[in-house]
Amino acid sequence: MEKRVATLHAYVDLWAEAYRRARRALLSLGMDPADDTFQALKDADYAAKNMGDRWENVSLGEGKRVMSWIWTVGRDAGVTETSWSDEADRVLWFRACARRDRWKEEVETLEAEINRMSVFFQYFAKLWDDAVVPYPATTLELGRNAYCYKMREMYNRLDEKTNAGNSEAFLKWAKFY
């Protein structure tokens, strides 16, 4: 994965340098240096500040982001900065809603899995309990019963751990996010 990321960074740097060469050529042909369309490209203009959850993830200290000029180039002439920014905010809002819905679905899936685990453990605890010989007559049957009790208790403990604080704490954490 790191190799893939490094390759993508190199690709971005390659295209940034191509843009800089094209801008220098336009300047040598007489383009106004103050032209807003083809501004000087700095590394900070295209560097990702936080790679956690793509570019819309807000990290500590990034309360209000200033969007780089490269994201506003090429918008229609009649579109104002405010309307374009409002549209970008709407897109971010819908993305945040979709992310929230995915988290809700993940929590529901985990709750269902925990319930299935509990049913599974209870089923096998009962299965081992039913395998116990009621009145053991031989040492072999006593050994078999001991093993059945051991397995039943193992599944009962697993069921208790599934239904105890471990899963509840996790679900509380998951619901928080």
Domain boundary among 11, 30, 51: 51
pLDDT value at 67 more than 70: no
Q: Are residues 105 and 170 in the same domain?
A: yes
Confirm whether 23 is domain-assigned.
yes
pLDDT at 51: 46
- Give mean pLDDT, residues 123-143: 95
pLDDT at 55: 46
Distances (CA, A) of 31 to 41, 71, 143: 15, 21, 92
pLDDT value at 120 more than 80: yes
pTM of the predicted structure, to 2 decimals = 0.48
pLDDT at 156: 94
pLDDT digits (tens, 9 = 90+) for 10-20: 888 899 999 99
pLDDT at 147: 97
Range of the domain at 4: 1-51
Confirm whether 79 is domain-assigned.
no
- Give mean pLDDT, residues 138-146: 96
Confirm whether 116 is domain-assigned.
yes
Confirm whether 165 is domain-assigned.
yes
138 neighbors 126 (Cβ within 8 angstroms): no
Domain boundary among 51, 67, 82: 51
pLDDT at 133: 94
- How high is the mean pLDDT of the chain? 82
Confirm whether 83 is domain-assigned.
no
pLDDT at 88: 79
Question: Comparing 34 with 136, which gets the higher pLDDT?
Answer: 136
Q: How far apart are CA 105 and CA 111, in angstroms?
A: 10
Confirm whether 92 is domain-assigned.
no
pLDDT value at 128 more than 60: yes
- Give mean pLDDT, residues 121-143: 95
Q: How many domains does the chain have?
A: 2
pLDDT digits (tens, 9 = 90+) for 43-65: 888 776 554 444 455 555 555 55
Q: Are residues 46 and 108 in the same domain?
A: no
Confirm whether 130 is domain-assigned.
yes
pLDDT digits (tens, 9 = 90+) for 77-100: 677 777 877 887 888 899 899 999
